[in-house]
């Protein structure tokens, strides 16, 4: 059977997709790029925000239109939209043949093949795969019953020199604007042996950059305390760095309340760990943070100063939200001041999205959407000036760059302060092999990108 796969949303979703691809290939399926040539269409959806829901639904409808006697025969939908909307998806798009919950990824083979159900069973029961295997990307033993692997097998996405390593599933924070806990459940950590084994496998397969991801990576190990105590994120980082090899290790998504001294010490313990932290502050006004359910975190500027004092040359990424219910003009001005003074290297700004079912959706003083968007645009204009100034300060420096390949503008790579796909790049003056480390002298800069001359490979 030929399968065409679409993965939408974040890098954590991508890991789920890679695990499902491995299951499908093991079952004899062939992965094809062109949906028109497939027997079955599989789409892994995202529903974190309304825009993501709309994108996922549009893609589902687009793929559904391809079904027919001369085209794909089945359409399978997985991911967060299945957890959030369930059977309502079937009412919206009756062409869907099967739904697979995020915690039941092992059902994907049966969903794609149509299962082993008798003709007497209803179409509804065929479409909803309800066998509770409790399989997820965290539960390797059930995913590989006849294997010695202690981690779920994956089919790595392109490019092959970098990969995400998902260290936990779900989220135990209760941010008032977020649906993740209701969709994915509380935070659940993978074991250190499983993660270490997968890390060894990735490095041994030629992966040169491993990025640790979870909804809140800083919470890693806290849920294991009742079973003898977890190592925490610093302990995990130190364990993973015990894997020999020439690679970069990067950490994404650490709640500001969990940026600890131990974590910062781990970040300077080995040159292979990138001096880079993604700390989603979301806002800086105390009253807004309290309504967001994030009032227990230290002040963002305090965190920034502490990180920079502990990790020389660190690059910081964060996200900020404008237009949260009750945000006043004064609150927004505090955000502008923070952007101007904090000197954040990489910033993402999102206007608040009122998601049905969240505590924030029931709050009063909702900020008009056009106001929230205008504020977001203003922050990004401020950040453009900040970013341009920071990049000018890098001109003349020599930096190690990981080559990424080519695009329409030529050859490019990234230094340790640039995460894949979300930050800028370093444009280089000659072609170098993707996945290789090169020494580069920075000779020019823009708003987001740098330009460098290759000195040595």
**Is the link from the previous residue into 159 a cis peptide, with omega within 30 of 0?**
yes
- On the 0-12 / 13-18 / 19+ scale of CB atoms within 10 A, 36 is exposed
Alpha-carbon separation of residue 225 from 76, 175, 331 (angstroms) = 38, 23, 38
Nearest to 291 by CA among 193, 184, 194, 178: 178
Share of the chain above pLDDT 70, in %: 91
Say which residue, 117 or 206, is predicted with more confidence. Answer: 206
Say which residue, 13 or 277, is predicted with more confidence. Answer: 277
How many Å apart are CA 9 and CA 79, to the nearest integer?
A: 10
pLDDT value of position 226: 58
* pLDDT surpasses 50 at 249: yes
pLDDT value of position 73: 87
Residue at token pair 């059930």: 142
* pLDDT surpasses 90 at 237: yes
Alpha-carbon separation of residue 383 from 304, 328, 389 (angstroms) = 16, 21, 10
Confidence bin at 373 (pLDDT 50/70/90) = very high
Say which residue, 415 or 54, is predicted with more confidence. Answer: 415
* pLDDT surpasses 50 at 340: yes
Helix or strand (DSSP H, E) at 410: strand 410-415
Q: Are 128 and 99 in contact (CB under 8 A)?
A: yes
Helix or strand (DSSP H, E) at 25: helix 11-26
Confidence bin at 149 (pLDDT 50/70/90) = low
Helix or strand (DSSP H, E) at 251: strand 248-251
Residue at token pair 């925000």: 49
User: What are the φ and ψ backbone dihedral angles of 17, each rounded to 5 degrees?
Assistant: -60, -45
Sign of CA dihedral 225, 226, 227, 228: positive
Residue-wise pLDDT for 397-456, tens only, equals 999 999 998 888 889 999 999 999 899 999 998 888 889 999 999 999 999 999 999 997
Sign of CA dihedral 389, 390, 392, 393: positive
Q: Are 79 and 102 in contact (CB under 8 A)?
A: yes
134: left (phi over 0), alpha (psi -120 to 50) or beta: left
Share of the chain above pLDDT 90, in %: 56
User: What are the φ and ψ backbone dihedral angles of 181, each rounded to 5 degrees?
Assistant: -60, -35
Alpha-carbon separation of residue 234 from 73, 237, 261, 271, 309 (angstroms) = 48, 5, 9, 15, 18
Q: Are 60 and 93 in contact (CB under 8 A)?
A: yes
Q: What is the largest CA-CA distance in the chain?
A: 73
Confidence bin at 120 (pLDDT 50/70/90) = very low
Q: In this predicted structure, which of 224-228, 280-284, 291-295, 303-307 has the lowest mean pLDDT? A: 224-228
* pLDDT surpasses 70 at 76: yes
pLDDT value of position 115: 61
Sign of CA dihedral 153, 158, 163, 165: negative
pLDDT value of position 136: 39
* pLDDT (mean) for 125-147: 37
Alpha-carbon separation of residue 35 from 207, 260, 292 (angstroms) = 29, 46, 41
Nearest to 88 by CA among 119, 48, 57, 50: 57
Number of helices (H) and strands (E) in the chain: give both, helices first: 15, 18
* pLDDT surpasses 50 at 138: no
pLDDT value of position 142: 35
Confidence bin at 130 (pLDDT 50/70/90) = very low
User: For all residues of the chain together, what is the average pLDDT?
Assistant: 87
Residue-wise pLDDT for 259-285, tens only, equals 999 999 999 999 999 999 999 999 999
pLDDT value of position 180: 87
pLDDT value of position 119: 29
* pLDDT (mean) for 247-253: 96
pLDDT value of position 316: 97
Confidence bin at 230 (pLDDT 50/70/90) = low
User: Which residues, 6 or more positions from 91, have their beta carbon under 8 angstroms from its beta carbon?
Assistant: none
* pLDDT (mean) for 367-390: 95
Q: In this predicted structure, which of 69-73, 244-248, 342-346 has the lowest mean pLDDT? A: 69-73
Residue 125 neighbours by CB distance under 10 Å: 11
Which two three-digit tokens encode residue 303? 């965190």
- State which of 85-99, 132-146, 196-210 shows the largest mean pLDDT: 196-210
* pLDDT (mean) for 206-225: 90
Residue at token pair 């700004």: 349
Q: Are 237 and 220 in contact (CB under 8 A)?
A: no
Confidence bin at 225 (pLDDT 50/70/90) = low
Confidence bin at 150 (pLDDT 50/70/90) = low
User: What are the φ and ψ backbone dihedral angles of 193, each rounded to 5 degrees?
Assistant: -60, -40
How many Å apart are CA 142 and CA 148, to the nearest integer?
A: 12
Q: Are 437 and 271 in contact (CB under 8 A)?
A: no
How many Å apart are CA 417 and CA 424, to the nearest integer?
A: 9
């Amino acid at each position: 059977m030929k399968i065409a796969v679409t993965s939408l949303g974040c890098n954590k979703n991508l890991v789920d997709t890679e695990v499902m691809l491995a299951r499908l290939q093991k079952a004899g399926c062939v992965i094809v790029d062109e949906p028109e040539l497939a027997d079955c269409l599989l789409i892994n959806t995202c529903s974190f925000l309304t825009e993501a829901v709309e994108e996922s639904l549009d893609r589902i409808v687009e793929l559904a239109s391809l079904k027919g006697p001369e085209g794909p025969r089945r359409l399978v939908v997985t991911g967060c939209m299945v957890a959030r909307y369930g059977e309502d998806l079937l009412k919206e798009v009756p062409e869907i043949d099967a739904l697979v919950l995020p915690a039941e990824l092992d059902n994907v083979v049966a969903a794609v093949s149509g299962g082993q159900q008798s003709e007497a069973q209803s179409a509804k029961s065929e479409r909803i795969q309800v066998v509770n295997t409790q399989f997820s990307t965290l539960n390797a033993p059930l995913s590989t019953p006849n294997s010695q692997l202690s981690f779920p097998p994956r089919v790595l996405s392109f490019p092959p020199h970098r990969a995400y390593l998902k260290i936990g599933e779900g989220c135990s924070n209760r941010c008032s604007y977020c649906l993740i806990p209701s969709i994915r459940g509380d935070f659940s950590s993978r074991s250190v042996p499983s993660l270490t084994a997968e890390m060894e496998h990735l490095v041994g397969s030629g992966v040169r950059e491993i990025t640790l991801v979870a909804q809140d990576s800083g919470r890693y190990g806290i849920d294991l305390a009742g079973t003898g105590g977890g190592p925490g994120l610093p302990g995990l980082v130190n364990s993973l760095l015990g894997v020999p090899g020439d690679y970069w290790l990067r950490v994404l998504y650490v709640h500001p309340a969990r940026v600890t001294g131990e974590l910062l010490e781990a970040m300077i313990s080995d040159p292979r760990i990138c001096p880079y932290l993604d700390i989603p502050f979301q806002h800086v006004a105390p009253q807004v943070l309290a309504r967001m359910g994030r009032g227990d975190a230290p002040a963002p500027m305090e965190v920034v100063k502490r990180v920079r004092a502990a990790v020389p040359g660190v690059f910081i990424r964060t996200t900020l939200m404008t237009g949260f219910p009750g945000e006043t003009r004064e609150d927004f001005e505090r955000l502008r001041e923070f952007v101007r003074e904090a000197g954040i290297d990489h910033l993402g700004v999102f206007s608040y999205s009122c998601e049905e079912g969240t505590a924030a959706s029931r709050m009063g003083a909702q900020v008009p959407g056009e106001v929230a968007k205008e504020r977001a645009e203003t922050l990004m204009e401020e950040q453009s000036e900040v970013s341009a100034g920071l990049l000018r300060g890098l001109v003349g420096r020599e930096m190690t760059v990981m080559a990424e390949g080519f695009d329409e503008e030529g050859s490019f790579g990234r230094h340790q302060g640039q995460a894949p796909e979300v930050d800028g790049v370093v444009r280089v003056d000659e072609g170098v092999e993707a996945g290789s480390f090169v020494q580069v002298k920075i000779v020019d800069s823009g708003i987001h990108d740098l330009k460098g001359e290759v000195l040595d490979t």
